[in-house]
Amino acid sequence: MKRTVYITRKLTDDMIDKLSNHFQVRMWHEEHVPVPRDVLLKEIEDVDGLICLLTEKIDEEVLSKAKQLKVISNIAVGYNNIDIDFAAKKGIVVTNTPGVLTETTADLTFALLMAAARRVVESSDFLRSGEWGAWSLMQMTGQDIYGATLGIIGLGRIGEALVKRAKGFDMNVLYYNRTRKPETEEKLGIHYREMKDLLQQSDFVCLLLPYSAEVHHLIGKEELSLMKRNAILINTARGGLVDEDALFQSLKNGEIWAAGLDVFEQEPVPIDHPLLSLPNVVTLPHIGSASVKTRMRMAHLAADNMVSVLTGNEAITPVISHK
Ligand code: NAP
Ligand code: GLV
């Protein structure tokens, strides 16, 4: 008998075809609306595999309902939406999509950095609003990127890919990482700093570490107060890493200069969120990996992980494996 896989969102036909060759596939048929919690709690009961997005909270409540779940394949590299410890206890393999999105996310991170530094969105709005009276010397002046100091917190795959872009702009790159990486320092020509020093010395601070309870609000009032007045904070990792109230105050009071945010504590970010009222914040709807090619690669890797595990093989990119 074919195993059953549930997909929490309508995906591409070729991916569904790939899965249907092996499994009985059930799916939430909406593309832009997440599966309701009660539907997920029901669907999970009798499936062998779950393919989900980062919008689904796969917690103890969901996992407790699962009677025969063997694998969860997350279509994202970050997996903070899944209780991996509880999954491990139940012997469920969890997979993610590392690597295939690295360069695309680094591109977007650098785009956000440039947009915030050079006031790209604000300037475009200024022009469209009809306020552009005449060219003037200090109009819409921003911060230089070339030659500036970039501090990366979380130097993993995407962090390293970001360094390559920064080096093309002659940036001085500092990093803080849980594990120091002397060989990478040598190879990429970058410098390790403790977090406090990195915050004090950087013109741009980019967050590229995974979110977990231990790093909740890693960047709060105190950390923001250490940053330069011309500094720009870029977050393409996870919203929970930043205390958004403290960031709002800091930006509003000119304690740091600008921010570029692809991620928020609550997504979609409420339209009346204070941060959205500030001209010195560039906001994006969590599109770090959103190129056509990369999203297809992520979907296929998630499907391939599912096929591999449910046909008795190793996961291609496991978060945890119990073999
Ligand atoms: P990765 O290769 O695992 O890199 C993460 C790095 O963060 C590792 O070097 C890790 O250090 C470090 N780290 C972990 N915990 C830390 C801590 N407490 N303090 C300092 N450093 C810490 O992951 P990646 O592929 O680069 O992705 C990074 C994150 O980006 C993902 O987890 C995801 O949340 C986010 N992301 C967002 C988008 C988007 O659309 N905006 C797209 C892709 C990814 P160790 O070497 O010690 O493990
Ligand atoms: C996106 O945020 C991811 O973690 O892949």
Query: Mean pLDDT, to the nearest integer, of 100-122?
Result: 98
Catalytic residues: 238, 267, 286
List, for residues 221-256, the tens digit of each pLDDT value. 999 999 999 999 999 999 999 999 999 999 999 999
Three-state secondary structure of 79-98:
CCCECHHHHHHCCCEEECCC
Query: Mean pLDDT, to the nearest integer, of 72-89?
Result: 98
- Nearest Cα neighbor of 34 from 17, 60, 52, 50 is 52
- One-letter amino acid for residue 173 of the chain: V
Question: Does the pLDDT of residue 162 top 60, yes or no?
Answer: yes
- Among the bound ligands, the one closest to the CA of 76: 2
Tell me how far the alpha carbon of residue 154 lies from the centroid of ligand 1, in angstroms: 6
How far is 90 from 84, CA to CA, in rounded Å?
10
Question: Does the pLDDT of residue 300 top 50, yes or no?
Answer: yes
pLDDT band of residue 323 (cuts 50, 70, 90) is very low
Q: Which atom of ligand 2 is nearest to the CA of 79?
A: 4
pLDDT, position 271:
98
Question: Does the pLDDT of residue 29 top 60, yes or no?
Answer: yes
Percent with pLDDT over 90 in the chain? 97
pLDDT band of residue 1 (cuts 50, 70, 90) is confident
pLDDT, position 320:
64
Report the nearest-CA residue for atom 46 of ligand 1. Answer: 179
Report the nearest-CA residue for atom 1 of ligand 2. Answer: 76
Contact (Cβ atoms closer than 8 angstroms) between residue 289 and residue 298: yes
Q: Are strands 93-95 and 318-320 parallel, antiparallel or unpaired?
A: antiparallel
Contact (Cβ atoms closer than 8 angstroms) between residue 40 and residue 69: no
Query: Mean pLDDT, to the nearest integer, of 83-110?
Result: 98
Question: Does the pLDDT of residue 322 top 90, yes or no?
Answer: no
For the entire predicted model, the pTM comes to: 0.97
Q: Is 173 in the pocket of ligand 2 (CB under 6 A)?
A: no
pLDDT, position 45:
98
- Among the bound ligands, the one closest to the CA of 102: 1
